[in-house]
Structure 1
Amino acid sequence: MARQISGFNVKHVFIFIFSSLLYALCQMLLSNIVMQDDLWGKFAVQLTAHYVVVLTMCVADYNLLLFLNKHIPYSKNVSYRIMADMVGLTLISLALLWVFDWMIYKILHVPPTGLPPFATKFALGMLTNAPILLVFELIHYFRSEQKAIADSEKAKREVLLFQHETLKAQINPHFLFNSLNVLSSLIYLNPQNAKKFTKALSRSYRYVLSLNQQPSVTVAEEMEVLESYIFLMQMRFENAFTFTVHEDSGSESNKIVPLTMQLLLENVFKHNVATEEAPLAIQITIGKEYVSVENQVKPSSNADKSGIGLKYLKKQYQLFGKDIVVEHTGDQFIVKIPYIEP
């Protein structure tokens, strides 16, 4: 493994010094051919001068690359990026030419006699600088591709982990124990509801098991399956909560992460008190930009902290470049879920 000195990889520094020196030598040879100048008589001076120019161009081009990556990335507009590269290249060449002319004529007092005209020096500057910027762009491109591949693999692992944790949460012994207790009571008290309860429980588990190859589902699909979960909760809590849905027509086809709605409702029931005397009000709003879950804040003193919570959903949506919005207004708790696909 290459050693690190002040954050720089020694191997990379050596490669850069060697390649930039070799490039400066090639540019010096080209310049002497064009200018028909004496190469060997001023070899050390010319090589030093060309190397300083090459290093300065490298620094300028690298900073130009950082600036363009931030403000005009290729993913935004390829044509604009290429045009920006050309404009930046021209401005850097003009600026460096002005600086070096000022140093040569004003500081070192070298007479202009015998030196090439401005147009020739500018052409040589562009010819020298263009390959440097091109190399930086290629390096950035290949590194971006490698990072994209690595991020893709990481995302796949995160999705698999999420599905695994979600499955464990749904087959939580506590959740299953409560469901079976309700079912056991219904069998004697209301066989018809017991049959409905069994179907709803089966449907919820079947939905979880079907998500292995689905990174996203429509809001309509989520809400359809959520009906089974709400039915299970109604059988368990009876009249201890109210549930309303407000829909914006056309938004049901937008996509979200599977089980988002069920996990959010699980959080509501885990962390709040729900009684028939003071029902817990839960509201879902399917809007144009978000689908939101809003509930009254009635904190439970012994809230169950286990299982998947809001942090898992936040992490999952970050894989799609989206951020969940959480608002706590004192007596209301609101979670806004962005759509990952329109």
Structure 2
Amino acid sequence: MQKLNDTWMRLVGVPLLALIGQWTMYGYTNVPYPDDWRIPFFFILGSVLVWETNRWGIILSRRKYPELTQTLRRIVYQLSWFVFFASLIRITQTFFYELIGIWPSEESLLFKPYFFNTLVSVVGTVQIAAYYEGVYLYQRWKITYTEAQELKKVNLQSQLDSLKTQINPHFLFNNLNSLSSLITSDTDQAERFVDELSSVYRYLLQQNNRDLCPLTDEVNFIMAYFHLLKTRYGDGIFLETQIEPHYLTYLIPPLTLQILLENAIKHNIIAVSRPLTIRLYTEEGHLFVENNIQKKKVAVPSNQIGLQNIMIKYKLLAHSPVTIRYDEHTFLVGVPLLAPTTEIVINQHPQ
């Protein structure tokens, strides 16, 4: 929640509005303005107390109902707070006036001064709070608009990355080399390799029209994708999966697993003597991808666009954040799995 930057309003604005409100009240009730410095002093003091109390109502309402969609509940919360505390403070203050003789009257607990003293405070507070709420709504709208623009950028980048993967000459060249070797040595394996390669490219072509997909689709894709890697690296790479069956219907942004596997392959040595082991497992509503760390001697340049895209997508989905943990031995990324009933909130921006 953004901090209220209202120092000048608290120091100057509220006391000034209190004086204007008091002058208005006396004029409306046709009572001559008294020549007693205590009346404006205590009125300003009461106004400051009213505003500081109601200011906390604004802060608490924003903590409880911060979103644009919660505006009505936030306003009702504030109005209820304003009426209760402004009335309590002003009624107490007016009674105090009568006790010390500042506002004497022949009839004890005269209704008119209590009513107008409270009314001026409530109306004044609502007017100031309306300005605060207007500024807050603009700030929230600006944040939402900025996030929408970021989402467009991320979606375009994801589409570009997907296209790059589809036509990546190195990826295609390496797989064709593997296929060429299999054709002469193991025709059955070559046939399966062609089927898996076809599955990989078919899945990549389908993702431009989806923002979320079932985990089962991602797992099936990554098994086909890993088959290509296994054919190339042999016993230099291993994939272990422990996916709980009931999570297979949960949703995940497409190509998330491919990005995470590519990240592991890009930054680590893959050799029979030093195999890279990648683990996929589910736990407490999250999918984790973990690999052992064995950094290449020559560091591979990385702008971390892949991980950033995943993190921003989950942020804009208003879901739990992506978990990234690592130490000397392992690197782990955990992404939340969205329940099948989750509303897709980013489908207005096609990828």
For this structure pair, what is the TM-score category when the shorter chain's length is used for normalisation?
0.7 to 0.9
Is the 8 Å Cα contact of residues 219 and 255 (structure 1) preserved in structure 2? yes
- TM, length-normalised to structure 1: 0.74
Q: Could you say which residue in structure 1 is the equivalent of 2:85?
A: 91
Letter of the 1:165 partner, please give it. D
Deviations for 1:218-275, whole angstroms, at most 9, x for unmatched residues?
1111001111101101110122222221122311111111111111111222222222
The counterpart of 2:62, out of the listed 69, 72, 81, is 69
Q: Could you say which residue in structure 2 is the equivalent of 1:3?
A: none
The counterpart of 1:313, out of the listed 307, 310, 313, is 310
**Which stretches in structure 1 are left out of the alignment for 5+ residues?**
1-7
Is the 8 Å Cα contact of residues 196 and 225 (structure 2) preserved in structure 1? yes
Separation in 1 of the partners of 2:62 and 2:142?
16
Residues 1:268 and 2:264 are matched in the alignment: yes
Q: Could you say which residue in structure 1 is the equivalent of 2:189?
A: 193
Question: Deviation at 1:146?
Answer: 5.0
Q: Could you say which residue in structure 2 is the equivalent of 1:302?
A: 298
Question: Deviation at 1:139?
Answer: 4.7
- The 5 Å alignment of 1:69-148 reads 69-73=62-66, 79=73, 82-83=76-77, 85-92=79-86, 94-95=88-89, 111-113=102-104, 117-141=113-137, 143-145=139-141, 147-148=143-144
Question: Deviation at 1:173?
Answer: 3.3
Separation in 2 of the partners of 1:164 and 1:31?
69
- TM, length-normalised to structure 2: 0.73
Separation in 2 of the partners of 1:209 and 1:248?
28
Residues 1:182 and 2:175 are matched in the alignment: no
1:92 to 1:167, Cα distance in 2 relative to 1, 3 A: farther
Bigger Cα displacement from structure 2, 49-58 vs 138-147: 49-58
1:110 to 1:70, Cα distance in 2 relative to 1, 3 A: same
Q: Could you say which residue in structure 2 is the equivalent of 1:332?
A: 330
Separation in 1 of the partners of 2:283 and 2:125?
52
Q: Could you say which residue in structure 2 is the equivalent of 1:164?
A: 160
Number of residue-to-residue matches in the alignment: 324
1:282 to 1:146, Cα distance in 2 relative to 1, 3 A: closer
Residues 1:255 and 2:251 are matched in the alignment: yes
Is the 8 Å Cα contact of residues 162 and 316 (structure 1) preserved in structure 2? no
1:316 to 1:222, Cα distance in 2 relative to 1, 3 A: same
1:311 to 1:153, Cα distance in 2 relative to 1, 3 A: closer
CA RMSD of aligned residues (A): 4.2
Q: Could you say which residue in structure 1 is the equivalent of 2:345?
A: none
RCO greater where, 1 or 2, for CA within 8 Å and sep 6 or more? 2
SS at structure 1 position matched to 2:321: coil
